[in-house]
Structure 1
Amino acid sequence: MLSTTLSNRPMSSVLVGLLCLVTTSAICCLCSGISPNTRCIASEKTALLRFKQGLLDESNVLASWENQKDCCEWRGIACNNQTGHLIMLDLYYNSSDVYNVETPLRGVIAPSLLELQYLSYLDLSNNYFEGMIPNFIGSLSQLKVLKLAGASFTGPIPPQLGNLSKLHTLDLAWNVVTFENLEWLTHLYSLRCLNMSGLNFSESVNWPESISKLPSLVELQLSSCNLPNVDLRSLSSINSSTTLEVLELSDNLLNSSIFYWIANVSTKFVHIGLMGDQLQGPIPDVFAKMVSLVSLDLSYNHLEGGIPKSFQNICSLESLNLWENKLSDRLENSVKNLACSESTLKSLFLSGNPFWGSFPAELTQFVSLTELYIDGTNMSGLLPKGLQQLSQLRSLSLVFNQFSGSLPDFTGLPSLRLLFLSNNQFNGSIPESMGLLSSLEYLTVSWNSLTGALTEAHFSNLSRLRSLSIDHNPLSFNLSFNWNPPFQLETLDVSSCKIGPAFPRWIQKQRELTSLFMSNASISDSVPNEFWDLSSSLFELNLSMNQIHGKLPDLSTKNCSYFTFDLSSNHLFGQLPPFPPNVGILHLSKNMFSGPLSSFCPTEAQKLSNLDLSDNLLSGELPSCWIKYQELLSLNLGNNTFSGNIPSTVGYLKNLVLLRLQDNKLSGDLPSLENCTELRVVDLGTNRLSGRIPAWIGQTLTKLLVLRLHFNEFYGSLPLSLCGLSVIHVLDLSQNNISGALPHCLNNITAYTSMSSQLEDLTILGFVQLVWKGINIQWGENLKHLRSIDISSNYLSGDIPETMTSMMRLISLNLSRNNLTGVLPSDFGQLKNLESLDLSRNQLSGNIPASLSRLNFLSVLNLSYNNLSGRIPLGTQLQSFNASAYMDNLGLCGPPLTPLCPGDATNQDSPPTSGAEGDKTEQDEDGLITLGFYVSSVLGFIIGFWGFCAPLLLKISWRIAYFQYLNDIKIWNCHV
């Protein structure tokens, strides 16, 4: 994200290495003003030429290294202006420069460098050297600066480096080197700057003691060193290195005792970096004496509480980064503890913490602030008008909060370059004054409730604007037809705003666009031909969910570089044209494209990873050129009218994750997909495919989450290998000609049985349409919670295996319309997550297990048309279903089918009970049948009968509706 990029610690990058640059500058000063008569020493020139012979210089970096030239004038060389001795060799390769067309040097470091005995500066960083760091470097006794960072060295660090007693700067970072101990390091008494970031310190439990023995050390960088998690409180008695000012220990696995070591090692710190060190608990009060601290980075830890009161003593602080912790203080209270740095603080990063409360009014007093990030907290309320006091502010980001109300006037922030306010609850209109922010480059107000129309005044002075995101607000545009924008955008997102109905002409004037998102923008126009020549740099294009009509041009002939191309859910028609060779994501679903895919094979889109042409009118046979698209992850051609066989070349797509060819007219056997071992979704339902279900599905496609082969013509028995689909979520083999028994090993599918199986992130799968409780539903991310088996409408026989009752995660089971026999397993109640159960239209017999009444989540039940008998178990759940759930089981009785089961009523023929007790009972029963009972019964019948029948006799419309209702019931019963 852009916000993350801009949040990199600017003060840290300035401070780290600042003091070491002083040393470097001093050495370089010695090289200035070389006398014209000074020439390099011949033996040293020879040594350099031998060094060059051991290098592979693909970019001719050393072109100036020629024998006939003075070596003091060669690239990367500097000589002493008095003696001519070579004192500096600098072949540093700037790998971070994107415009650097050169390649790094490769090869070995020749021992001829030993001839350079006056060398004080050696930098070979970021080149590619083979083998170990040469131990002879330890004999270059005049070295003051040694930089070998990122030079691909391997093996142990030579302890001879400890002989470099004059060394001021040592940089060995980001090599794959090892060391048994740091004893050699303790001999470098003059060392001021040490960078060993990226080296493995996991076995160096004594690193704090070794560092403390360097009396002149000013800067220490040990980022990403896998520093051992030792209790540093026990080392508090070591001698303090009072000179240490810059400390960078980010990306290690330290514990909070590091704070106490820091407090004891120095009080002169200027920069401390502890990013990503897994620190926990509250921020301790160890910074009270660090009055010189300028930059502090505690981001990406697990710190709790708030900013401690000890920060009230830090009056020189310029950068504070607390990004991504668990700080949950009322932000107003924490900000008060920074009051001492009101005039110095420039960068404040508080994002990703559960801070709460309103926007602190105190923050408006920090007049030096240039960067303020408070993203993803629990902040709410209105933004203060006092924001205008932050006149130096260049970046303000408040995304993912709960700020509300109207947007304030930002015109008091003339330096503002970045304004991110998305994902809040702002309402009202965007003030026209926004158009006066002439320095603004990035504006994002997406996902709010902003209303009104945007006019030319909103953009009047935004000549530097590069990115505009106002999507997902009910905004509209009111711009003149020939409006000429003052800006050239790189990113524009106006999705879910009202841009149409015409295709905006002003967008065609944006010649530097790389990303354009106009999804659901109420456009009901055709795309102008000029638009397709808009920009050769347009990387992302999304015009989906509009009413765009017309045909697509041949985009392979256009000067465009689309990677994402999404025009789905429009009214485009005609044949599909060839597409640009760089396209990676191509979504054209839900249009009216027709004809064959004859243009697909000529498309040389070898980077294609996602192809969705579903829900169109495409026809003919599928092309056979799939072997060209080895990057393909998702292929969706569903809901068209393709016919013929599935090409065997689909089986070459080894990276394929999703394959959807459902709702076509495809026929023949399944081709082998044994090599497609990454498949998660296979949906081939509603076609005319035939043959047996291949055994390789369960043997090689072990990552399958969804397998849908419903409504085809597959036959034969179910292969036992299906039990190997251990992570399957949805198994749908319904409406085929499958016969035989249900496998008894289905309980081997751990996704159905284990309550602790890990849920996979299914966002890559998009949406999968499934029948759920009789309704077609699009399942997205929630698919990970579904566990469903549907083998209905086949010819299965035999019993329901008892092992199925151990599938405790099963949510839906449909085995209806088969020839299953036997009794229902008695432990069905163990399926406690079951929500839908359909076993109708089989030949099941025996009683309904009493355990079924314990299924508290059951909302769909159908046991009709079987041979079940006995009492329906009593329980709130089973009695809540309609009688149709149990109909046509002649032996079933009890609610909701019948009030009573045989034997429940008192037998009238049993002999009377003798004696006084019997007389009493008989009198009580006879006492209920009185004259009043008969009178009330007759009156109730008369009132009930005429209350119902009289309106039918007197009102014709009621009579027609009643008999129509009876007719509907008859028709419904005939179709069950």
Structure 2
Amino acid sequence: MGNEFTGSIPEYMWTPPSLKVLSLYRNKLNGSLQNQSLCGLKGLQELDLGHNEFGGSLPQCLDNLTSLTFLDLSGNQLTGHIPSSWPANLKFIDLSYNRFEGIFSVKNIPSSSPANFKSSLKFIDLSNNLFEGLFSFNLLANYSSLEALILSGNNITFETGWIPSFQLKVLIMQSCGLDSIPEFLFHQFKLEALDLSHNKVKGRIPNWLLENNGGLQTLNLENNSFNGQLQEIGTKMLPNMRYLNLARNYFQGDFLFAVGDDCKLMALDLSHNNFSGEVPKELLSSCIFLTHLRLSYNNFHGQIMVFNITRFDYLQLNDNQFEGTLASLLPNFSHQMRGPRIQWLDLSNNRLHGEIPHWMGNFTYLYYINLHNNFFKGHISRELLSIENLDLSHNYFSGPLPSFFHGNYLEQINLQGNRFIGSIPEALLNISTLKVLDLSNNELSGTIPNNTGEFQNDLRVLLLGENHLSGLIPNWLCQLNDINLLDLSRNSFSGSIPHCLHNLSFGREKGSFSTLSLISNKVPSSLFRSMEGFSSFDTFDFHFDNEEEIEFFTKYRTSTYKNKALNYMSGLDLSANSLTGEIPFKLGELYQIHALNLSHNQLIGSIPRSFSNLSQIESLDLSYNNLSGEIPSKLIDLNFLEVFSVAHNNLSGKIPDMKGQFSTFESNSYEGNPFLCGPQVERKCNDNNVESPSSQVESRHEVSGKWYEIDRGAFLVCFSVTFIIFFLAAITFLYILPHWQQSLIHHSREYMFSCYYFSYDILRKSFTRFVSLIDVISSQIF
């Protein structure tokens, strides 16, 4: 089992007549099962060939295996129809994840099997095949012992007016395209697990479904179209309920929950609905076994109640309107040797405020905390920054960052959009396990410290934009071999762009951001070899996804990338700094990069022709620099380019032809370049002198370094000639018109006398005061 055997099954495996168990689960065996030797194993009781690569149809002689009770052929490539007969004592059949096709009919599943077979079969799994059309329950009419039926992932419909002979304990019909609850469920009274998730069922949850099945332990109705206000649910109606999933529907109003004396609820998911009001206190105080609670993406409000959080493993209350402080939710555990067992805490996008208790970083098991977009303030402790996944972005935290970290497993730190000051601690850049570091949009200053650790091995995202950082861009950043997003924009970095940045992968090395699925209670079929304890089967899939959100500015807007989307996005943003020099030619080797922004700097030289090799680029912004020369015509080969701007430079010559993506760029992509010509800027190109503006610019560059500087000698000559002409014109004008001459003399005299008497009066008063001051001083001395 699981030893990676390949090829077909050796013939000797079929020969032992006393063989009772044959398990070759999860190998790479292939070929056809049309092997008559298989049908000769009369004593075989368990056959497990699941998750291999067998193809073709099933052997017609399986009914000869009279001792067989367990058959698992799941996860292969089997095709055709299901045989018309089965072994008489078979209790378990798993044919899931194959390629069986056609409409369910009597000829597909046996209708003439021996009576003892029909009474012994308990488990049928036909999920994730290619069945479609009408499912006729007549083919199951005599299966009175059937307890579990799994049909997920098939596009089927159901006939009406049929009353089954069996009483199911487990019914799983995920993703079957259902638009209503199957009618035959009205006659089921022993259900323990019901999963109708990921369908199109609409309306209200029927009362009879819950009233008829008081023993229901698991109910999963996630991702349907149920609506309206939910009827009162609680232990009186569902005394044995352990897992309840109503997520991703259209429920609204208060969540009514009536708690009895014995609440067995362990996991509750109400996320992605329109529930409002406050969370029932009874739910939080009386359900002492509740360890998994997700209320996210609703309209719950009010202060988060004080309740015993020590029992919770996963608590997700994000995207609501909760108020209050963490102190009201978390009692003080600073006096305890070990904190609560909570592992996952998501309170993001609420209205929480106050400071984070310093002892919260001492929680022994906590490895994910998300407080994004609240009103928290104060400093953060170094203990808090030891949590494996930490998101404190878009709050009001302030002060310097801790200079010492003792966490050995840090993976994600997001402190974006706060008010942190000071420099970036060198210790933060020496955490070898770190994958995401977002310090953007703060008030950090100083230079990027030198890295002395193994930080470059795992980092995928480094965002330092919109701070007050300065100095040169350090060359050690070129060692970030797995980097996908690097943002140093809106700072005060100077110097040239490091030539070694072409060594960065930017998507070439296909690492992956993983989505964490923390709990999945689906039990593999191999555990059902013994049907004893079958009632404990649980289909509730309660997972918590690590929805790490990364904001990156591209295509003139800030876009948010989550989870798997980060695997396909790569970008470099050095915009809005004081970078000088030319653009390194080797940046054209970043073949897989999607976004490159070098705008709002002081770069000179030409646009590298190597940029035509950026085959995956979608956004290229070189605007607001001092670039000169022509736009490389080969850039029209960039088939994915959506945003392109070279505005406000000193470019000249003909704009590339309006072909491919360049036919979508308008004049604002080229504005501020007076020597560019083409239909995009409504300026015709003269083939004879189209190079002359560029040549003039280049010659001026050679002389003075800047095309817009003025010739000083020519300026002085022009100014002198203009002054002489103006002076002679004024004299001639006064000579021809004596009246204006007299008027000018009169006003000049008046102005002179006014100035004379004004000055005389000021001097006289000053002198008088000076003499008086001398007399006073003399009288005091003598």
Q: State the TM-score, normalizing by the size of structure 1.
A: 0.62
Alignment of 1:36-75 (within 5 A): none
1:654 aligned residue (408, 414, 422): 408
Distance 1:564 1:804, change over 3 A: same
- Asked if 1:391 is matched to 2:144, the reply is yes
Give 1:750 shift: 2.8
CA distance in 1, matches of 2:258, 2:136: 35
Pick aligned residue for 2:217 from 466, 474, 480: 466
Does the Cα contact within 8 Å between 1:760 and 1:784 map onto a contact in 2? yes
- The equivalent position to 1:848 in structure 2, one of 631, 640, 655, is 631
Determine the structure 1 residue equivalent to 2:185.
434
The reply to whether residue 484 of structure 1 matches residue 203 of structure 2 is no
- Displacement of 1:447 after TM fit? 0.9
Q: Would the alpha carbon gap of residues 392 and 489 (structure 1) be closer, same or farther in structure 2, given more than 3 Å must change?
A: same
What residue in structure 1 maps to residue 560 of structure 2?
A: 778
What corresponds to 1:540 in structure 2? 292
C-alpha contact 1:430 1:450 (8 A) present in aligned 2:
no
Quote the offset at 1:576 in angstroms.
Answer: 1.6
**CA spacing shift, 1:486–1:818, aligned 2, 3 Å:** closer
Structure 1 counterpart of 2:494? 739
Query: What's the counterpart of residue 138 of structure 1?
Result: none
Q: How does 1:142-291 map to 2 (within 5 A)?
A: 250-263=1-14, 265-285=15-35, 286-291=37-42
Q: Of the candidates 576, 579, 587, which is equivalent to residue 804 of structure 1? A: 587
Q: Is the 8 A contact 1:821 1:845 kept in 2?
A: yes
SS in 2 for 1:279: strand
Distance 1:443 1:820, change over 3 A: same
Equivalent position amino acid for 2:341 in 1: N
**2:50 maps to what in 1?**
299
Cα drift, residue 697 of structure 1: 8.2
Report the CA distance shift for 1:484/1:406 in structure 2 as closer, same or farther (over 3 A): farther
Structure 2 residue aligned with 1:357: 102
Residues 863 and 391 (structure 1 numbering): CA distance in 2 closer, same or farther, change over 3 Å?
A: same
Residues 1:549 and 2:304 are matched in the alignment:
no
Query: How far, CA to CA, are the matches of 1:717 and 1:493 in structure 2?
Result: 53
Secondary structure of the 1:696 match is coil
Q: Secondary structure at the match of 1:457?
A: helix
The one-letter code of the counterpart of 1:771 is F
Q: Distance in 2 between matches of 1:409 and 1:360?
A: 17
3-state SS of 2:10 partner: helix
Measure how far apart 1:499 and its partner are: 4.4
Q: Which residue does the alignment assign to 2:320? A: 570
| Contact 2:105–2:135 (CA under 8 A) maintained in structure 1 | no
Q: CA deviation at 1:512?
A: 1.1
Verify the 8 A CA contact 2:45 2:69 in the aligned structure 1.
yes
Are the equivalent residues in 1 in contact too, given 2:456–2:482 (CA < 8 A)?
A: no
Q: What letter is aligned with 1:348?
A: I
SS at match of 2:444: strand
1:858-873 equivalences under 5 Å are 858-873=641-656
2:430 and 2:452 in contact (8 A); partners too: no
SS at match of 2:398: strand
Cα distance in 1 for partners of 2:491, 2:402 equals 22
Query: What CA distance in whole angstroms lies between the structure 2 residues aligned with 1:384 and 1:704?
Result: 55
Which residues in structure 2 correspond to 1:108-147 (within 5 Å)?
Answer: none
- In structure 2, runs of 5+ residues without a counterpart are 332-339, 517-545, 691-782
Q: Report the CA distance shift for 1:282/1:615 in structure 2 as closer, same or farther (over 3 A).
A: same
Deviations 1:426-454 (A, max 9, x none): 112454x6365332211111111111222
Task: Tell me the amino acid that sits aligned with residue 495 of structure 2.
Answer: G
Using the aligned pairs only, state the percent identity: 29
Distance 1:280 1:312 in 2: 23
Amino acid in structure 2 at the alignment position of 1:614? H
Which letter does structure 2 place at the counterpart of 1:715? S
**Superposed counterparts of 1:392-791, under 5 Å:** 392-399=145-152, 401-405=153-157, 412-429=164-181, 431=183, 434=185, 436-476=187-227, 479=231, 484-506=236-258, 511-555=263-307, 558=308, 561-577=311-327, 578-579=329-330, 581-597=340-356, 599=357, 601=359, 605-626=363-384, 630=386, 632-649=387-404, 651-671=405-425, 672-696=427-451, 700-751=455-506, 754=508, 757-764=509-516, 766=547, 767-780=549-562, 781-791=564-574
Determine the C-alpha separation between the residues in 1 that align with 2:74 and 2:173: 17
Name the SS for the 2:276 alignment partner. coil
Give the drift of 1:300: 1.8
For 2:343 and 2:456, the matched residues in 1 are separated by: 25
2: CA distance between counterparts of 1:409 and 1:388?
A: 13
Kindly tell me: are residues 559 and 257 of structure 1, through their superposed partners in 2, closer, same or farther at Cα, counting changes over 3 Å? Answer: closer
* 2:602 is equivalent to residue 823 of structure 1: no
CA shift in 2, pair 1:317/1:360, >3 Å: farther
Contact 1:455 1:478 in 2 (8 A): no
CA shift in 2, pair 1:496/1:563, >3 Å: same
Output the CA distance in 1 between the equivalents of 2:38 and 2:47.
10
Residues 283 and 738 of structure 1: is their aligned pair in 2 closer, same or farther, counting only changes over 3 Å? Answer: same
Counterparts in 2 of 1:409 and 1:744: CA distance versus 1, 3 Å = farther
Query: Partner of 1:224 in structure 2?
Result: none
Secondary structure of the equivalent of 1:565? strand
| Residues 604 and 382 of structure 1, relative CA distance in 2, 3 Å threshold | farther
For residue 5 of structure 2, give the secondary structure of its aligned residue in structure 1.
coil
Gap change, CA 1:572 and 1:536, over 3 Å in 2: same
Kept after mapping to 2: 8 A contact 1:418/1:443: yes
CA–CA separation in structure 2 for the residues paired with 1:813 and 1:313: 67
Q: Deviations over 1:359-401 (max 9, x none)?
A: 35332636232111122223222322323432211111122x1
Distance 1:262 1:803, change over 3 A: same
Q: Distance in 2 between matches of 1:769 and 1:402?
A: 38
The structural deviation recorded for 1:455 is 3.6
**Distance in 2, Cα, partners of 1:389 & 1:697:** 73
User: Does the Cα contact within 8 Å between 2:377 and 2:396 map onto a contact in 1?
Assistant: yes
The alpha carbon displacement at 1:617 in A equals 1.3
- Of 662, 669, 672, the residue aligned with 1:878 is 662
**Contact 1:474–1:497 (8 Å) recurs in 2:** yes
Instruction: Count residues in correspondence.
Output: 638
Amino acid aligned to 2:493: I
**What is the RMSD computed on CA atoms of the aligned residues?**
2.5
Q: In structure 1, list runs of 5 or more residues that go unmatched.
A: 1-249, 907-976
Displacement of 1:489 in angstroms is 1.1
Secondary structure at the counterpart of residue 425 of structure 1: coil
Could you tell me how far apart the structure 2 residues matched to 1:698 and 1:709 are? 19
Alignment partners' CA distance in 1, 2:382 and 2:67: 68
Q: Are the counterparts in 2 of residues 483 and 506 from structure 1 also a CA contact under 8 Å?
A: yes
> Per-residue CA shift, 1:132-187, capped at 9, x if unaligned?
xxxxxxxxxxxxxxxxxxxxxxxxxxxxxxxxxxxxxxxxxxxxxxxxxxxxxxxx
Deviation at 1:537, TM superposition (A): 1.9
Aligned to 1:85: none
Given that residues 469 and 492 in structure 1 are in contact (C-alpha distance below 8 angstroms), is that contact kept between their aligned partners in structure 2?
Answer: yes
Contact 1:508–1:530 (CA<8 Å) still a contact in 2? Answer: no
Opposite residue 776 of structure 1, the aligned amino acid is T
Q: Distance in 1 between matches of 2:261 and 2:358?
A: 31
Q: Secondary structure at the match of 1:763?
A: coil
Residue 82 of structure 2 is aligned to residue 334 of structure 1 = yes
Deviation at 1:602, TM superposition (A): 5.3
Greater relative contact order structure (CA < 8 Å, 6+ sep): 2
Conserved 8 A contact 1:435-1:459: no
Q: What secondary structure sits across from 2:253 in the alignment?
A: coil
State the distance in 1 between where 2:452 and 2:355 align. 29
Corresponding letter in the other structure for 1:884: N
Q: Is the 8 A contact 2:198 2:224 kept in 1?
A: yes
Question: Is the Cα contact below 8 Å between 1:793 and 1:818 reproduced in 2?
Answer: yes
2: CA distance between counterparts of 1:509 and 1:890? Answer: 82
> What TM-score do you get using the length of structure 2 for normalisation?
0.77
Tell me which amino acid in the other structure corresponds to 1:720: N
Provide the rounded CA distance (Å) in 2 between the counterparts of 1:395 and 1:801: 65
